[in-house]
Amino acid sequence: MIIAAATNESLAQMSNTLIYSSMAVYTLAFLAHIAEWVFGSRSKVGRTAAALTAPAAAAASVTVQVKGQAGSTAVLDRPKVVTRAAAGRREVPDGPGAAGGTVKGDLYGRIAVSLTVLAFLVEAAGVVTRALSVQRAPWGNMYEFSTTFSTVAVGAYLGFLLAKKNVRWIGLPLVTTVLLDLGVATTWLYTESDQLVPALHSYWLWIHVSTAIFCGAVFYLGAVATLLYLFRDSYEDKLATGGEPGAFARSVLERLPAAASLDKFAYRINAAIFPLWTFTIIAGAIWAGDAWGRYWGWDAKEVWSFITWVAYAAYLHARATAGWKGRKAAYIALIAFGCFLFNYYGVNIFVNSKHSYAGV
């Protein structure tokens, strides 16, 4: 028999203060990221354009020996050539990053990362304090899930930075999304720190929900990379066909990694996390067997978790199929992440199910 512990109101209030404080720091990080991109846009870019147009910039001059006319030359027109990667994409260099290589842009970028680290630590402290206030896992309702989710997403981003990966370009969309997530959580999803319904008093709460949060956070990073890949791929296509992108597109998209790099990053993330999402569903089924006496009952949450699994499985299968690489596979990846979002927000808010104890 599990005896619920009393709620420590002082710690609960401290958690709320820390979450709001993290939002303030994230706002400063957001402004610093904006400054990073603005000052970075003043740099001279064009490496992608040069890589795509150089092969066809001029006709090749080839020296030939003509009988009786030694030293004569002939100019042969070669067809336009665009080098492509093994996956069918152009081989172009990665952009220099969000700052675009300028000193001032890089300075603001470092400030933005430092503020993001500070905000992450403050938010993580808020999540831990929430857990201590009720002596349980801090993801028993939608408010707690949202705060923990954004903390893990930022932590994963910072982990890539520590590993010396070129992911500074994720900073601005990440911080923007975190602010939106926390705004929704504190405004519409907030739930007082309290004990859980009996069905949630299980060690599977630590296992099943924590893996779901981690999977969702990493899937989010993959979705950002996929979305930016679509923009960057269109940009490279336009350059390759002789088009002239606008100044805004050139200043922003030129500084992103190449489309092939973004696509590879998203694929590796989704492929690496997919087995853990499979385990998440299996763990949920085992927990359902303990709590409700059946492993699978086609509850709305169970159904959409499975739909999300099928969508990501289709994406991975598409990547292994010759005719479904690049943009087509990217669309499937975005649909898959959309299924994950609906599984969280849509099912919890709009659908009556056994998982309706989300707190709203």
Assigned token pair, 291 = 């709590």
Give whole-number Cα distances, 238 to 88, 250, 252, in Å.
16, 11, 15
pLDDT for the residue numbered 322: 63
Q: pLDDT digit string (tens) for 72-102? A: 444 444 444 343 444 445 678 888 788 777 8
**Helical residues (DSSP H) of 41-170, grouped into ranges:** 47-53, 103-134, 142-162
Tell me the pLDDT of the chain averaged across its residues.
84
Give whole-number Cα distances, 153 to 186, 256, 350, in Å.
18, 20, 25
Q: pLDDT digit string (tens) for 185-235? A: 999 999 888 777 776 778 888 999 999 999 999 999 999 999 999 999 999
Assigned token pair, 96 = 């220099």
pLDDT at residue 57 tops 60: no
Give me the count of residues in the chain: 360
Residue 294 CA from chain centroid, whole number: 34
pLDDT for the residue numbered 353: 73
Confidence of residue 62 (pLDDT cuts 50, 70, 90): very low
Assigned token pair, 186 = 């504190």
Sign of CA dihedral 269, 304, 149, 4: negative
Residue 137 CA from chain centroid, whole number: 24
Average pLDDT over residues 123-138: 94
Angle at 210 between CA 209 and CA 214, to 5 degrees: 115
Q: Which of 30-34, 35-39, 170-174 has the lowest mean pLDDT?
A: 35-39
**Number of neighbours of residue 186 by Cβ within 10 angstroms:** 16
Q: pLDDT digit string (tens) for 309-347? A: 999 999 999 888 866 778 999 999 999 999 999 998 888
Query: Could you state, in order of their start, the residue ranges of all structural domains in the chain?
Result: 9-54+84-350
Q: pTM, whole model, 2 decimals?
A: 0.85
Single-letter amino acid, residue 119: A
